[in-house]
Amino acid sequence: MPEQVNSTRTSPATDFSIALLSEFVRLGVRDLVLCPGARSQALALAAAELERADSIRLHVRTDERSAGFLSVGLTLETGLPTLIVVTSGTAVANLHPAVLEAHHAGVPMILLTADRPAELRGIRSNQTTVQSGLFGVATRMCLDVPAPVGEPDEAGIAVALARQAMDAATGVLSTAPGPAQLNLAFREPLSAALPADSTWVAPTPGVGPAPAASTDGPTMLLAPGPRTVVIAGDGAGPAAEELAHAGGWPLLAEVCSGARFGPNLIVHYRELLGASDLGGEIERVIVFGHPTLSREIPALIARAGVETIVVAPTGLEWYNPSLAARAFTRSIGADAASTLAARTPAGREWLGRWVMTSRSLAEAAADEGRAPIDKRGITRAELAVLRAPLTRKLLVDAVWRASWPHDRLVLGASRLIREADKRVPGKKITVLANRGLAGIDGTIATALGVALASQAEPAPRSVGVTRVLLGDLTFLHDVGSLLLAPEEPEPRLQIIVGVDGGGSIFDGLEVAATAPAQAMDRVLYTPRSVDLKALAAAYGWDYEMAATRSDLERALTGAPTRPSILEVPLVR
């Protein structure tokens, strides 16, 4: 029988939980993701009371895997650590994929994992395993906290633990933000009635932790001379575009880099690196973020005679494929001579060749399915285009055109993100993706977190819509995240599912040319036939299908007012 709330006696678990969560609120935490469980009930009940007082935004989920990636999405949008509360046993283990993603992507996250006290460990007590250290090197800090017993100083201990966890998660105690774990043992009684004194319920909210400043040396200044390109991978941010503009260098920015905009952007960088003379002339490469979407970038860095400088304001690991990079820095800039050289004819010539060649490639690719519609009517050829089956190119183009700066676009680890990276033009919009480990895990949950945080009241950071573009297998992998809590706000989220029979990303790998067709289908493509309309109805989501270009344009024109799924059958 589940343990009941203790309404007559005090509970050290409750007192400790109140002190801990109240301090997190004072430190600036705004979001708490909770999964139900008996051992964690004191934390859960304190969180519910904080929500009632508008001191925290509470998100309740039944699946810890979804909860973990929901936390990732919330933090990607807010920049603040999110608390995750789970009970003991497999509940903790189910957080592991999200913890690894947060670790590699540098996303601050604080895990409050409830546990049995010391006397119940190692004796096969129910729902008990070794939780402290479970995530290994993926946590910036892991503390195994003994069960409170009601001593007067325990509230002070809770406050100190909250501050230590915040410092660890935000990178104050290390060189990178990431997950921190407080493994909290609790004895029975696992909870009691909350104190009648409500002064703890609405602690003064903090403004959130300031980003950890780098102390790893001065800014590296780049001199003119070598033919240079700036590469922006996932999480690079606008600093990459700023450097490229200052130095007059081509900018090769992935679609989820946060730097895919500006006059120096080279959209068709893959073709220019792989099959043009320009790629062979590169002498120096400046890398921001974590490039993951092409093979051409690692091949360039590994090439003899190319000087590679890796820039990372924070991080425990340096991006260094093939171990070819020789210089690493936390901060970089173009020196005065480079800035002046960028304005000279010679400086403009290098950038101009890249821009014009990329523009020519874009114009050559623009005619696919883009016949103009005459205001006086539509020709048969144009009507045929509107009614033709959809391709990945048409899908990513349409979604990109429909997205604006006040929107959010989340891209799943499907073939579609690579298609977008190959072709979409520069646009200063927020594009997010789980590229820390580049897995298909948790894409829907991450998008939900982004949507909820960006649309939060009373002072929303954005009034737009969040769209997530992903393939059918990536969608099905996280289908459990469609289950929303009935008493929580419904996000304006549109899930766009490109259905092509699954696993088409393997079409571009060498294995497609060597493996038997039946084996490819069975163990790599792994197609699944699922009625997405019925699935949407089961979870209470709106549903629409777009089988043609005109259907797609119509579905993307009106922003959804509640959670919706748009199914898009694609030509294989």
Model confidence pLDDT, tens digit, residues 339-359: 999 999 988 999 999 999 999
Residues 168-192, mean pLDDT to the nearest whole number: 93
Quick one: pLDDT band at residue 369, thresholds 50, 70, 90? very low
Q: In percent, how much of the chain has pLDDT > 90?
A: 73
**Phi, psi angle pair for 558, to nearest 5°:** -90, 120
**What is residue 528's predicted lDDT score, i.e. its pLDDT?**
80
The pLDDT confidence band at residue 211, using thresholds 50, 70 and 90, is low
Q: Is the confidence at residue 381, as pLDDT, over 90?
A: no
pLDDT reading at 474 higher than 60: yes
pLDDT at 373: 46
Q: Delimit the domains of the chain by residue range.
A: 12-194, 220-365, 380-569
Q: What is the pTM of this model?
A: 0.91
Give domain 380-569's CATH number out of 1.10.620.20, 3.40.50.720, 3.40.718.10, 3.40.50.970. 3.40.50.970
* pLDDT value of residue 285: 97
- Asked whether the predicted pLDDT for residue 177 surpasses 90, the reply is yes
Asked whether the predicted pLDDT for residue 462 surpasses 60, the reply is no
Residue 220 pLDDT:
94
Whether pLDDT at 136 is above 80:
yes
CA distance 84 to 110: 6
Confidence band of 90 (pLDDT split at 50, 70, 90):
very high
For 427, the 3-state DSSP assignment is coil
| pLDDT confidence of residue 118 | 84
- Average pLDDT of span 98-108: 97
Q: What is the pLDDT of residue 516?
A: 82
- Per-residue pLDDT tens digits for 67-89: 999 999 999 999 999 999 999 99
Q: Do domains 220-365 and 380-569 have the same CATH topology?
A: yes
Residues 6+ apart with CB under 8 A from 280: none
Classified by CATH at the fold level, domain 220-365 comes out as Rossmann fold (3.40.50)
**pLDDT bracket for residue 559 (50, 70, 90):** confident
- Higher-pLDDT residue of 124 and 410 is 410
What stretches of 27-87 show up as alpha helix (H) in DSSP?
A: 41-52, 64-78
Q: Residue 123: what pLDDT?
A: 84
Alpha carbons 476 and 480: distance in angstroms, whole number: 8
Return the pLDDT at 556. Answer: 95
**pLDDT level of residue 375 (50, 70, 90 thresholds):** very low
Q: What is the structure's pLDDT at 378?
A: 58
Residue 9 to residues 5, 22, 40, 269, 448, Cα–Cα distance (Å) = 10, 22, 18, 67, 39
Residues 206-224, mean pLDDT to the nearest whole number: 73
- What are all long-range contacts of 337-344, with beta carbons under 8 Å and residues at least 24 apart? 337/223, 337/224, 338/222, 338/223, 338/224, 338/246, 338/247, 338/248, 339/246, 339/247, 340/224, 341/224, 341/248, 342/224, 342/246, 342/247, 342/248, 342/249, 343/248
Residue 553 has pLDDT above 50, yes or no: yes
| Residue 326: band (very low, low, confident or very high) from pLDDT cuts 50, 70, 90 | confident
Tens-digit pLDDT profile for residues 487-543: 899 999 999 999 987 767 777 677 777 888 788 777 777 778 899 999 999 999 999
Please give the share of the chain, as a percent, with pLDDT higher than 70.
91
- The kind and range of the H/E element at 383 are helix 380-387
Question: Could you please report the per-residue DSSP string of 347-372?
Answer: HHHHHHHHHHHHHHHHHHHTTTT-PP
Q: Is the pLDDT of residue 212 over 60?
A: no
Closest CA to 142 of 161, 121, 120: 161
Fold for the domain defined by 12-194: Rossmann fold (3.40.50)
pLDDT number for residue 298 = 95
Residue 83 has φ and ψ, to the nearest 5°, of -85, 140
